[in-house]
């Protein structure tokens, strides 16, 4: 009997259990009928304790990551994988050769988006509005300040600095932890910021675009509200037409003084604000998992405007003997060998 036949519900593996949105994603997938296996490199990741089964894995950039994840997926009889962190994206597509549906865009789209300079150059060449962007090795002559300095690769707000003058820019580049060749300098667009869920799958058709106005951001978006904007919608649809993600992606943009959206980043995966998309009426994660498995219909683009997300901590409670079943205590996890697999408390 195969592993998947041992479980009544189809198994979905969800990575990055410590991300802000992952615990809610795990609970949502379980509510709609999936058995969820969660992974993370840190024993304190809260999503590990909300899944049906959990594993500690090496970092996504490690050579050991893919073999370990493949072993988990095959052992657990996984039918789908939902990767939620950038470092994993270049390699997890390999699991499709094992018959596992990977909920991510096509490899070429991923590679383009993960190098922010390449992405800006490509979008500009295709006529998609972007901020003026240069490598830090180029002259700052003609730049309009303030500017944003950030690594060509990376996620969240790691290594991001705002500079108000050419002198400050020079000091930041010289003193920073990144070589100048690995940094880009980007015009800071002063208007309202949006983070946008774009729902597409392998047929290339855009099923939904849900713009969310960012109200508070500290590394990740903390407060946001669904907000209709026809021009934002069109720019995001154009990106799918021109670059063919053919999978879920998240567009980050800001409005310039004329109200024109300028795209400054694209995450080639589900956004950390995907739970807000679901709350507004478009189940982008559950819906695309169903489509990837061949038993779900296309999603509609009907969603509610004015739905606010307030990101917060949520406490979970379970008896100590059930917690101890995991074999790990987060405060001392660095001293304890990673478990091969831990069953979730019910």
Mean pLDDT of 333-344: 47
Q: What is the CATH T-level fold of the domain 132-187, as seen in this structure?
A: Dna Ligase; domain 1 (3.30.1490)
pLDDT of the residue at 225: 98
Q: What percent of the chain has pLDDT over 90?
A: 79
Q: Which of 277, 270, 264, 275 is nearest to 247 (CA)?
A: 270
The residue ranges of every structural domain in the chain are: 4-102+315-343, 109-113+190-310, 132-187
36 band by pLDDT with thresholds 50, 70 and 90: very high
pLDDT of the residue at 341: 54
Distance (Å, whole) CA 230 – CA 301: 13
Q: 253-263 pLDDT, tens per residue?
A: 999 999 999 99
Phi, psi of 303 (to 5 degrees): -150, 160
Average pLDDT over all residues of the chain: 91
- Integer-rounded Cα Rg, in Å, for the chain is 21
329 band by pLDDT with thresholds 50, 70 and 90: low
pLDDT at 82 over 60: yes
Q: 144-200 pLDDT, tens per residue?
A: 999 999 999 876 667 789 999 999 999 999 987 889 989 999 999 989 999 999 999
Class of the CATH-defined domain 4-102+315-343:
alpha beta
Contact 89, 114 (CB under 8 A): yes
Q: What is the CATH T-level fold of the domain 109-113+190-310, as seen in this structure?
A: D-amino Acid Aminotransferase; Chain A, domain 1 (3.30.470)
Which tops the pLDDT comparison, 3 or 282? 282
pLDDT at 75 over 50: yes
Which letter, b or e, does each residue of 42-51 get, where b requires 16 or more Cβ atoms within 10 Å of its Cβ?
A: ebebbbbbbb
| 69 burial level (CB within 10 Å; 0-12, 13-18, 19+) | buried
According to DSSP H, which parts of the chain are helical? Answer: 22-31, 65-76, 89-92, 107-114, 116-125, 166-175, 230-243, 274-280, 284-292, 320-324
Is pTM beyond 0.85 here? yes
pLDDT of the residue at 326: 66
């Amino acid at each position: 009997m195969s592993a998947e036949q041992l479980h009544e519900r189809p198994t979905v593996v969800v990575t990055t259990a410590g991300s802000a949105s992952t615990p809610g994603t795990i609970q949502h997938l379980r509510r709609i009928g999936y058995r969820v296996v969660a992974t993370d490199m840190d024993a304190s990741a809260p999503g590990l304790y909300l899944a049906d089964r959990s594993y500690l894995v090496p970092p996504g950039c490690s050579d050991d990551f893919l073999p370990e994840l493949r072993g988990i997926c095959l052992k657990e009889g996984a039918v789908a994988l939902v990767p939620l962190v950038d470092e994993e994206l270049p390699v997890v597509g390999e699991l499709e050769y094992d018959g596992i549906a990977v909920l991510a865009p096509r490899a070429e789209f991923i590679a383009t988006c993960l190098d922010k300079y390449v992405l800006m150059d490509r979008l500009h060449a295709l006529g998609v509005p972007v901020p003026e962007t240069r490598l830090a090795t180029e002259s700052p002559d003609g730049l309009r300040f303030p500017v944003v300095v950030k690594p060509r690769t990376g996620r969240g707000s790691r290594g991001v600095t705002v500079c108000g003058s050419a002198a400050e820019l020079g000091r930041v580049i010289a003193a920073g932890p990144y070589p100048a060749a690995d940094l880009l300098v980007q015009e800071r667009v002063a208007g309202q910021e949006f983070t946008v869920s774009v729902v597409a799958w392998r047929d290339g058709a855009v099923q939904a675009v849900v713009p969310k106005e960012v109200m508070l951001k500290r590394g990740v978006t903390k407060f946001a509200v669904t907000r209709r904007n026809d021009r934002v919608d069109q720019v995001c649809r154009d990106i799918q037409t021109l670059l063919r993600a053919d999978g879920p992606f998240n567009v980050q943009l800001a409005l310039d003084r004329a109200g024109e959206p300028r795209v400054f980043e694209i995450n080639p995966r589900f956004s950390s604000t995907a739970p807000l998309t679901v709350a507004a009426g478009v189940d982008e994660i559950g819906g695309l998992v169903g489509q990837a498995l061949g038993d779900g219909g296309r999603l509609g683009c009907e969603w509610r405007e004015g739905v606010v997300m307030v990101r917060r901590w949520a406490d979970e409670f379970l008896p100590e003997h059930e917690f101890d079943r995991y074999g790990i205590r987060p405060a001392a996890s660095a001293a304890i060998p990673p478990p091969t697999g831990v069953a979730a408390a019910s």
